[in-house]
């Protein structure tokens, strides 16, 4: 059996590691990519599952390999200006995420996989012109040559059009100004720094810092953002190292098209909050492993995917719906929009009652349910990510779950 992963961005590299680790040994995993295709070179913040999967696929270990990825440890997320006092959302004491340089990931992964997986891994390089479902698999056209696979994971980046997608009606930001500072970051968390027009992430790498000013371009302007960054970093505007990105928060209507499984920015991009995109990538890979082996039907895999999308939107809404310390147009819009979403969830009180009933990390790990269909079938607690919801509920002063002790914070690892 042969499965191809198209693309070697973050999602593509994560998919390669995941499939090699979890598919049986008779599966070949092939990376198909164009070395000349540029990647979005922004420092990335991850969840604890990322270094775990990276270790499983490449034997990456932070102690010996951090220089390979320009990496730093991530112990959690520090929220500044969301409330009157800073809020530190920590990971469990036995887990950690990493911050890493996206320019380095492809070369590191592609140098390690052939040594570790030998006959199970190979590469095809060239311009991917088309993916075509057939009766027996998928034809991948690379530089006018047809390559046949049983399945394909499509990680080619944002879709060519959004005809088969839905725009998220939850996410309040859609534009970013990235300011790179050429000195090492000396903190071990990701900053989520609220400002009057949105919020800013701060990512420490071992050689530089990446700050991402996020805003809604229907409410404020690029010029306002540059002015704020200049004042915040006490740097003349002409000396800022700015890159600009805009996006449409979206998710695909379906994960699976015949024998093609979408992942990465091909399937969804919401926003950088809490590195939630990695949760989607990981969930899709788990669904893919089960689906291609015939252990899950397409219908059940799609249901799981929709639950993960709903989980992501609900977690985003739960952060924003109480606003911040700023009484501005952006934060009023974000609070109203996200409050409507939270209040639209069916049986809200019933969901929080069920959250209160759960007492072990394993029962709260949504990803585990795909691995055990019988257990997943009994999942009745709703769509929320328990670890984030419990913490944000108390730390942000919502108190829906009315849990006041550390033993009731559950960590997905």
Q: How far apart are the first and last CA of the chain?
A: 30
Domain ranges within the chain, ordered by starting residue: 2-71+100-166+249-303, 346-408
User: What are the angstrom distances between the C-alpha of 229 and each of 77, 191, 219, 250?
Assistant: 21, 15, 17, 27
Distance, in Å, from the CA atom of 386 to the CA atom of 410, rounded to the nearest integer, reads 7
pLDDT in tens, the chain (413 residues): 999 999 999 999 999 999 999 999 999 999 999 998 877 666 799 988 899 999 999 999 999 999 999 999 999 999 999 999 999 998 877 789 999 998 899 999 999 999 999 999 999 999 999 999 999 999 999 999 999 999 999 999 999 999 999 999 899 999 999 999 999 999 999 999 999 999 999 999 999 999 999 999 999 999 999 999 999 999 999 999 999 999 999 999 999 999 999 999 999 999 999 999 998 998 899 899 999 999 889 998 998 888 888 878 888 988 999 999 999 999 999 999 998 888 776 544 555 555 555 433 334 443 333 334 433 433 333 334 556 677 788 888 887 765 443 333 322 22
pLDDT at res. 247? 95
Burial of 196 (0-12, 13-18, 19+ CB in 10 A): middle
Closest CA to 255 of 221, 289, 293: 289
Distance, in Å, from the CA atom of 113 to the CA atom of 234, rounded to the nearest integer, reads 44
Q: Are 279 and 365 in contact (CB under 8 A)?
A: no
pLDDT at res. 308? 84
Please list the residues that pair with 252 across neighbouring strands.
165
Closest CA to 30 of 9, 10, 6: 6
pLDDT at res. 345? 66
Please list the residues that pair with 166 across neighbouring strands.
251
pTM beyond 0.85: yes
Distance, in Å, from the CA atom of 204 to the CA atom of 124, rounded to the nearest integer, reads 34
Give the pairing type, strands 151-154 and 260-262: parallel
Distance, in Å, from the CA atom of 115 to the CA atom of 374, rounded to the nearest integer, reads 37
Query: CB-based contacts of 407: which residues, under 8 Å, 6+ apart?
Result: none
User: What are the angstrom distances between the C-alpha of 371 and each of 195, 291, 392?
Assistant: 41, 11, 28
CATH 2.60.120.10 fits 2-71+100-166+249-303, yes or no: no
């Amino acid at each position: 059996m042969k499965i191809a992963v198209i693309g070697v961005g973050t999602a593509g590299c994560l998919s390669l590691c995941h499939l090699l680790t979890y598919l049986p040994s008779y599966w070949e995993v092939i990376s198909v990519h164009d070395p000349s295709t540029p990647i979005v070179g922004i420092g990335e913040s991850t969840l604890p599952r990322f270094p775990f999967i990276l270790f499983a696929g490449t034997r990456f270990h932070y102690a010996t390999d951090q220089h390979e990825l320009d990496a730093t440890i991530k112990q959690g997320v520090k929220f500044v200006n969301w409330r009157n006092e800073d809020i530190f959302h920590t990971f469990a004491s036995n887990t950690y995420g990493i911050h890493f340089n996206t320019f380095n990931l492809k070369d590191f992964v592609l140098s390690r996989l052939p040594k570790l997986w030998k006959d199970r891994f190979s590469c095809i390089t060239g311009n991917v012109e088309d993916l075509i479902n057939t009766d027996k698999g998928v034809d991948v056209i690379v530089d006018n040559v047809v390559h046949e696979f049983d399945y394909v994971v499509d990680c080619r980046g944002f879709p060519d059009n959004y005809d088969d997608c839905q725009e998220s009606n939850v996410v309040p930001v859609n534009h970013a100004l990235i300011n790179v500072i050429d000195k090492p970051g000396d903190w071990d968390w990701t900053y989520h720094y609220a400002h009057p027009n949105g919020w800013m992430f701060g990512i420490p790498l071992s050689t530089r810092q990446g700050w991402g000013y996020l805003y809604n371009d229907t409410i404020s302007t690029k010029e306002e953002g540059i002015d704020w960054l200049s004042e915040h970093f006490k740097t003349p505007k002409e000396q800022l190292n700015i890159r600009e990105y805009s996006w449409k928060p979206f998710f695909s209507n379906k994960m699976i098209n015949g024998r093609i499984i979408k992942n990465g920015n091909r399937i969804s991009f919401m926003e950088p909050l809490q590195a939630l995109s990695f949760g989607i990538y990981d969930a899709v890979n788990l669904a893919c492993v089960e689906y291609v082996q015939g252990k899950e039907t397409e219908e059940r895999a799609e249901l799981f995917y929709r639950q993960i999308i709903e989980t992501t939107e609900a977690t985003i809404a739960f952060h924003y719906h109480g606003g911040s310390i700023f009484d501005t147009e952006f934060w009023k819009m974000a609070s109203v929009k996200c409050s409507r979403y939270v209040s639209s969830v069916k049986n809200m009180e019933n969901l929080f009652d069920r959250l209160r009933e759960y007492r072990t990390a394993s029962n709260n790990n949504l990803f585990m349910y795909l691995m055990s269909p019988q257990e997943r079938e009994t999942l009745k607690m709703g769509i929320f990510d328990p670890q984030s919801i419990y913490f944000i509920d108390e730390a942000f002063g919502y108190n829906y779950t009315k849990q006041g002790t550390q033993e009731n914070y559950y960590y997905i690892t």
